[in-house]
Amino acid sequence: MKTRIREYRKEQKITQEELAAMVEVTRQTINSLEQGKYNPSLELAYKITKALHKDRIEDVFIIE
């Protein structure tokens, strides 16, 4: 699964560590998500979407 996490995170000047703390996961989890190596649970996808100030999960996560 592709994501736009890195793009949105950089726009808002948030580090991987800061985003991880906001959604209560490790920095490594955020890194894996950004690299497309990990598919999040629906709950985590929702938390990340809200943390990045986006309205829809589909704005952040791209299902191929």
pLDDT in tens, the chain (64 residues): 899 999 999 999 999 999 999 999 999 999 999 999 999 999 999 999 999 999 999 999 998 7
User: Could you give the number of structural domains in the chain?
Assistant: 1
pLDDT at 23: 98
What are the phi and psi torsion angles at 57 (to 5°)?
A: -55, -35
CATH number of domain containing 28: 1.10.260.40
In terms of residue numbers, what domain contains 32? 2-62
Query: Angle CA(39)–CA(64)–CA(42) in degrees, nearest 5?
Result: 35
